[in-house]
Amino acid sequence: MTKLNQASRRALAAGVAFVLGMACAGPAQAARTPRKPAPAADLVSDFKLLAQQRPWTCPAPAPMPELKGQGWTAGDAACAWQNRLSTRRWTWSGDAAPDCVSNQARWWAQAQAGLPPQAARSVWQAGWTVRSTLLAEGDAQRLLMVTRGRDGQWVATEWRWNPNPRPATRRWQEGRWQGLVEAVRKAAPPQASAVAPDTARVQSVFAAILGSRAGEIGLEGMAMASNGTCLALSNPLPGQSKLPLSWNATDSRLEQRAATHLQLSRQLPHADWLTPFKLLALPAAPAGGAKFLATWIEGDQLNSQLWIPQKTGGHTLRVRMSTRLAPGQGAHPESAPVARAKQVLEHELEAFASQWTARHE
């Protein structure tokens, strides 16, 4: 047998040790390798993955929005975590006939209808194709998401979580819930739209008079339904008012308003006036400036307009609310349907004027 010198023996021993080390280290390293996390988007679409248990069908948690007709399909509610976690989904086609506002605006409003009266609500914007929001109701939380697919199909999803009172369980559930919140935010990032300051103020007042009712904000203005009447509220009308108006209500005299109405009639020679230009007598509210209103018919369009002078002496802000009358109805301004529509328009604009005073004056 060939004898190995000392250097050869050391090299052979090192090689054997390396091979044995690799053989022993392999399983240990594999055990330490973390499992690849599931894609975040899976938490949005896979309720079982979110809950980490097999979900079950359960009664829809109240108040869940209930919508009927116009192509709606509502899925069953699914629950987990001793019914402390739930989800539900709605789908509809983008070409379903809208009722004053789009189906997505209706769902968005009804999904927020159960919030306390003082809670902030957001109004659906016509340009949105995806939207999400996180709502808190005491300790419980609700997460809403609406998305529009390339095929025009809309999908709305709501998740609810009522935290477990046990601290350890609550912490674990909170980790799963926060993972869902982040996944939804990535899937439905905010879609901001820049608007002029006056338009932003008008939109905030519009949201206030809506309350829990459905409404929609578009490029040309806003839309809502009031007592079965479809209403359109304009963005602030462009240009400067040709009517010299004072912010101080005590500066307005009857003869001045009559002269102002005459000037307005010349600007709109085809109008049939239902309410001549007048100073609004608003209910008790924080002291504010004067507000003026007039209502008229042109063709089959019923219009009511509000003038809001600025305290600083700048431009007078003007917004117009209108509704389309039934064909031929505009020729009968004394009819009951026209009187009802007029009452609705003026009621909403008076509410707008009061909210404007409370918020911006």
pLDDT in tens, the chain (361 residues): 444 455 445 544 454 444 344 444 444 444 444 455 555 568 999 999 999 999 999 987 766 666 766 678 888 999 999 999 999 999 998 776 667 899 999 999 999 987 887 777 899 999 999 999 999 888 999 999 999 988 889 999 999 999 999 999 999 999 999 999 999 999 998 877 788 999 999 999 999 999 989 999 999 999 999 998 999 999 999 987 877 888 888 887 888 888 888 989 998 999 999 999 999 988 755 578 899 999 999 999 999 999 999 887 678 999 999 999 999 998 899 999 999 999 999 999 999 999 999 888 8
Q: What's the confidence (pLDDT) of residue 124?
A: 95
Per DSSP, the three-state class of 214 is coil
CA distance to 125, 209, 265, 304, per residue, from 333 (Å): 34, 27, 17, 14
- What pLDDT score was predicted for residue 62? 66
**Nearest-angstrom CA–CA distance, 111 and 123:** 11
Question: Which residues are CB-neighbours of 19 under 8 A, at least 6 positions away?
Answer: none
What pLDDT, on a 0 to 100 scale, did the predictor assign at position 20? Answer: 42
pLDDT at res. 225: 92
Report which of 283, 284, 287 is spatially closest to residue 350, judged by C-alpha positions: 283
Tell me phi and psi for residue 29, to 5 degrees: -65, -40
Q: Is the dihedral of CA 11, 16, 17, 21 positive or negative?
A: positive
Q: What is the C-alpha to C-alpha distance for residues 269 and 10, in angstroms, rounded to an integer?
A: 111
Beta bridge partners of 230: 225
The answer to whether residues 316 and 308 touch, using CB atoms and an 8 Å cutoff, is yes
Per DSSP bridges, beta strands 215-217 and 124-125 are parallel
309 Cβ neighbours under 8 A, 6+ residues apart = 245, 246, 247, 289, 290, 316
- Residue 287 to residue 264: CA distance in whole angstroms: 28
What pLDDT, on the 0 to 100 scale, is given for residue 263?
87
Contacts of 25 (CB under 8 A, 6+ apart): none
Query: Model-level pTM greater than 0.85?
Result: no
| Measured distance CA(181)–CA(189) in Å, rounded | 11
Contact predicate 269/287, CB 8 Å: no
Say if CB 132 and CB 236 are below 8 A apart. Answer: no
Q: Measuring CA to CA, which residue among 297, 294, 166 is closest to residue 241?
A: 294
- Tokens coding 51: 């809950």
d(CA 7, CA 19): 19
What is the Cα–Cα distance from 270 to 296, expressed in whole angstroms? 10
- H/E/C letters for each residue in 225-282? EECCEEEEEECCCCCCCCCCCCCCHHHCCHHHHHHHHHHHHHHCCCCEEEEEEEECCC
Domain ranges of the chain: 41-187, 197-360
Whether the link from the prior residue into 63 is cis, omega within 30° of 0, is yes
Strand partners, 131: 146
As given in the structure block, the two tokens for residue 349 are 């604009």
The amino acid at residue 239 is G
pLDDT for residue 253: 80
